[in-house]
Amino acid sequence: MLTRILIIGDSQVESALKTHGFGSILNDRFNGEADVILRKFPGYTAEWIKLLTSSVARNLGATPDYIIILCGRDDCLRSKQDTRPVTDPEKFRKNLYSLVDKITNEVDMNAERFILLSPLPIHTMRFEGDEGNVFDGVTIDKSTIKQYTEKTKEVATRVGGQFVDTSALLDRALDANFRQGGIKLSNDGHLNLAEKLVELIELTESPFPSFDTIGNDYVKTLGEINQNCSLVQEDNIAAYTYVSTVDQYSAYLGKTYRGKV
């Protein structure tokens, strides 16, 4: 199957698949060779996201080839209505490591296929009337984001994954890379981030043969490919299907009886 690229993150990845988002750019660069999948959790801290990683992994349909993780901004970005305390950098590190560890328990993939991005830098020079890193009712702990960058690098090193320092990547042209307000990536910012990710991603060869090489016994040939691409082991397919059917039937009966009562 095509190379599968999963993007997980907080509000920083919210626009990844919009027209000029870095996910859309990856999809365009790898057109016909990769599928880009986005799982966005705006406003979620790393701790909140880690609690949903099992659900994300189990609903992919196939093991991803690359997982890009970008979170941390919502651990230290607070509005006046958000009373949550800023996450301590060491706690952020533990939550981020736990998030990655949970994913590895759900999917079987090489550690170097994890790409951890540090929280995006903040362009405080573009804040209107910037006082104490406050813009439009939002408070941002810039010093904490710098510490998060180091903690993200520690996690990437520990798990053997790849690390991208977004501050080093984007600080070179902040006026171009960030929109007014200094928080969201501009079109140029998305492009620069995508270009970096293109350097780190290697496309895998598709297991699907061309139609002129399949031959007359296409049912056997394509059946073997379909079997080998399944997430469920061959000797467990029958049992898996049976259990799934029983669960669905039980749920139906339960709903029916509750309805009668």
155 shares its domain with 223: no
Contact in structure between 115 and 141 (CB atoms under 8 Å): no
Q: Is residue 158 part of a domain?
A: yes
Predicted TM-score of the model (pTM): 0.76
> Based on the domain organization, do 187 and 223 belong to the same domain?
no
Domain with 62, as residue range(s), is: 3-200
147-190 residue pLDDT tens: 999 999 999 999 999 999 999 999 877 788 888 777 889 999 99
CB of 92 closer than 8 Å to CB of 71: no
Q: Radius of gyration over alpha carbons of the chain, in Å? A: 22
Segments of the chain with pLDDT less than 70: 1, 61, 124-137, 204-211, 228-261
Are residues 154 and 240 located together in one domain of the fold? no
CATH number (domain holding residue 185): 3.40.50.1110
* 89 and 183, same domain (yes or no): yes
Closest CA to 145 of 12, 249, 243: 12
Give the residues across from 4 on adjacent strands: 35
